[in-house]
Amino acid sequence: MSVLVIAEHDNASIKDATLNIVTAAKELGDVTVLVAGNGCAAAGEAASKIDGVVKVLVADDAAYDHEIAENMSTLVVSLAGDFTHILAPATANGRNFMPRIAALLDVAQISDIVKVESADTFVRPIYAGNAMATVQTSDAKKIITVRTTGFDAAAAEGGSAAVESVAAAGDSGKSSLIGEELSKSERPELTSAKVVISGGRGMGNGENFQLLEKVADKLGAAIGASRAAVDAGFVPNDLQVGQTGKIVAPELYIAVGISGAIQHLAGMKDSKVIVAINKDEEALIFQVADYGLVADLFEAVPELEKELG
């Protein structure tokens, strides 16, 4: 078995999501990592150090800036012949280009796997994680997106894979980036942070998220939010945790002013320890919380910050 992992990266470095996918890939066979980007030599170098990676392919071309799906798919299809499995993280990027690759190869895609049972059988959540399906594909080539929280991260150091350049496969000319509004944050990435503190509708407005920021500073935490908080315009979309947002599974998840809709629980219920702070003692979030505190968040959160020293 030979597995191609499509790396998530920012040209300069490898994103944590890639490390989790390498772990899933190692269960399937020899791991080759593809780094496709624009000026991505450093990311290619970093990929070669990941423990367990045999080979790194680098496609460095303007066509792969921002991993535009049209161009990524033709590139991966040009490389696909050598591999039995092609894996990418179920991130916004992976979710965008992988089905395109699958259709070009006339293969069904298995989305969002959390477990590898065998070379052709995988476990994946359906219905917002309210059911787990074990599925077996009959396609010779397996196209898979992987939920990062399902697998431990491979060590970022220790490997010494050969790095090889591959030819670019052209620009479709049908899609180009004309604007970006990216959140700038010094905090850890939401999807790989050890601690996440999230706010919901109960926060009342965007300014009140500063209360969470102060606690996050003490814990080295990432900030998250429920859909209600994002829809209300309190915080940007990229903070959303849930079925259709980001899936997180930190060591500690603190839910503040979040009622606990199924769609939100789908994004965080695999966290190791869950804390809920909500003034409504009937809130659904308490049904999944290890530690529940029925309290007014505007008193409890500043107190929490103080208690954490």
Partner 1 sequence: MKVLVAVKRVIDYNVNVRVKPDNTGVATANVKMSMNPFDEIAVEEAIRLKEAGTATEVVVVSMGEKKCQETIRTALAMGADRGILVETDDELEPLAVAKILKGIVEKESPDMVFLGKQAIDGDNAQTGQMLAALLDWPQGTFASKVELADGGVNVKREVDGGLQTLKLSLPAIVTSDLRLNEPRYASLPNIMKAKKKPLETVTPADFGVDTAARVKVLKVEEPAKRQAGIKVETVSELVDKLKFEAKVV
Site for partner 1 in 92-131 (CB under 8 A): 92-93, 95-104, 106-112, 121, 125-131
Does 282 contact partner 1 by CB under 8 A? no
CB of 178 to partner 1, least distance (A): 5
197: nearest Cα among 219, 171, 217, 223: 223
User: CB-wise, 54 or 77, nearer to partner 1?
Assistant: 77
What distance in Å separates the CA atoms of residue 100 and residue 106, rounded to the nearest whole number?
Answer: 10
Does 146 contact partner 1 by CB under 8 A? no
CA angle (240, 47, 21) in 5-degree steps = 45
Does 269 contact partner 1 by CB under 8 A? yes
User: CB-wise, 39 or 302, nearer to partner 1?
Assistant: 302
- Residue of the chain from 68, 211, 212, 228 that contacts partner 1 (CB under 8 A): 68
Does 290 contact partner 1 by CB under 8 A? yes
4: nearest Cα among 69, 67, 56, 61: 56
Does 175 contact partner 1 by CB under 8 A? yes
User: CB-wise, 135 or 163, nearer to partner 1?
Assistant: 135
Tokens for 245? 């947002």
User: CB-wise, 49 or 115, nearer to partner 1?
Assistant: 115
- CB-based contact 24:1 (threshold 8 Å): no
The radius of gyration of the chain's CA atoms, rounded to the nearest angstrom, is: 20
Tokens for 225? 């939010």
User: CB-wise, 23 or 93, nearer to partner 1?
Assistant: 93
CA angle (155, 36, 4) in 5-degree steps = 55
User: CB-wise, 55 or 269, nearer to partner 1?
Assistant: 269
What distance in Å separates the CA atoms of residue 93 and residue 197, rounded to the nearest whole number?
Answer: 25
CB of 265 to partner 1, least distance (A): 9
Distance in Å from the first CA to the final CA of the chain? 51
Q: Which of the residues 225 through 244 are near partner 1 (CB under 8 A)?
A: 227, 230-231, 236-238, 243-244
